[in-house]
Structure 1
C-alpha cells in the first residue's frame, strides 16, 4: 500500500517533497480558518498557493499552475474585502448568491474553461484524459475562489464538487500528498458549508 501511494516520490528531491508538505499543511490550515469565517484564511492560504505556484511550474502542470496564481491574486482581493467594515459591521458578511452573481459565476466558469483550453492547446498539453478534466476543475476552482472572496455560502458547494474530482486526479498525476489534501478539503468543505449555513440562519 505504501509503495502504491508514495512510490513516485522516490524520484523527487527532498526539497520539493518538503515544500509540498508545507504547502499542504498551510492549505489545510487555511480551509480550517475559512470554515469558521476567520480572515486568517487568506494569509495562510497565500503561503500555500505561492509554494504550489513554484512546484506546479517545476512539474509543468500548466492548468494547476494558473489556478494557484489566480488563488494568490484572489486571496489578496478576498483579504481586502473581508477587512472592510461599515459602521463597525462587516461590509461583506456571509450571504447567498443573487441572480446577477449566479450569472457572473457562469460567465467566469465559461471564460476560465475556454482560456485553459486555449493554453493547453498552445502548450500541447492535451496528452491524456486528465488534461480534459483539468479544464473543468479549473473553471470550478476559479468560481469557488471568487464566491469565497464575496463571502457567498455557495462557494462551499463549488469547492466540494471540485475537491472531490481532484482526489483521483492528483493521485493519477503522481502527487499523493496533494491528493490526500483534497480528501481532507472535501470533508472540510462539507462542514464549512454547514457552519456558514448555521451562521447565516441562526
Structure 2
C-alpha cells in the first residue's frame, strides 16, 4: 500500500471494526441529511436522526462529551424541527424560510452562553477539562446548538453558524483520528456555502411541498 493509505489506516489501529463501519454509515447518513437540508427537503430529519443515533455511540467510545451532547440535542431538535417544517401556515402552505427576528437573536445568545456553561460543567464533572480539544469541543457545541435551533425554525442564518462550526470541527476530528468524519466536515463546509445560497433564493417564498 502507498504511504498515504498506510498513514490513513494507521489512524484506526486498535479501533474495533464495528466502530469503523458505524462511522462510515453515520457519515453517509449525515451527508444525506445535510444535502436534504440544502434542498429544503423534510428527509433531512429521518436521515439525521439515524446518523445521530450512530454518532452518540461512537462519540461515547472516543470520549468527545460535547459532541455527544450535540447529537443528543440534535435528536430533540429533529423532533421539534420535523413538527415546525410540516406545520401548515394555511390550507396549502408550509412554514417558509425566513430570517431571525430580534427576539430570536436574543434567544440565540442565550442558547450559546448557556451551552458554554453546560458543556464546561460536564467536562469538569468527568474531570476531562485537561486538553485543548475540550475547549474547542465546547465552543463548537455552543455554535452547533444555535445552528440546530435556527435550522429547526427554518432560519436562513443557520447556515452561517453551521459553516463556522464545520470549519472548526474539521481539524478537531482529524486530530482525534476520526478521518472519515473529518472528511464529512469538509463536505459540510461546501454544503453550508451552497445551502445558504439556495435558501436565500427561496427566502420568504410560500412552500407547497416538503420533498423538494
**TM-score clears 0.5:** yes
In the alignment, is the contact (CA less than 8 A) between 1:130 and 1:169 conserved in 2? yes
Once the 2 structures are TM-superposed, how far is the Cα of residue 201 of structure 1 from its aligned partner?
7.1
- Equivalence for 1:113: 116
- Equivalence for 2:209: none
- Please point out which of 92, 110, 133 is paired with 1:88: 92
Provide structure 1 residue ranges, at least 5 long, that are not aligned to the other structure. none
**TM-score, structure 1 length as denominator?**
0.96
Once the 2 structures are TM-superposed, how far is the Cα of residue 6 of structure 1 from its aligned partner?
3.2
Number of residue pairs matched?
201
CA–CA distance in structure 2, aligned partners of residues 61 and 6 of structure 1: 21
Q: Indicate the structure with greater helix content.
A: 1
In the alignment, is the contact (CA less than 8 A) between 1:6 and 1:176 conserved in 2? no
1:126 aligns with 2:129: yes
- Please point out which of 177, 180, 183 is paired with 2:183: 180
Once the 2 structures are TM-superposed, how far is the Cα of residue 82 of structure 1 from its aligned partner?
0.5
With CA pairs under 8 Å and 6+ residues apart, which has the higher RCO, 1 or 2? 2
CA–CA distance in structure 2, aligned partners of residues 32 and 65 of structure 1: 22
Once the 2 structures are TM-superposed, how far is the Cα of residue 130 of structure 1 from its aligned partner?
1.1
**TM-score, structure 2 length as denominator?**
0.92
Deviations 1:11-44 (A, max 9, x none): 1111111100000000000000000100000000
1:103 aligns with 2:103: no
- Equivalence for 1:154: 157
Deviations 1:113-133 (A, max 9, x none): 110001111111112111101
Once the 2 structures are TM-superposed, how far is the Cα of residue 4 of structure 1 from its aligned partner?
3.3
- Equivalence for 1:74: 77
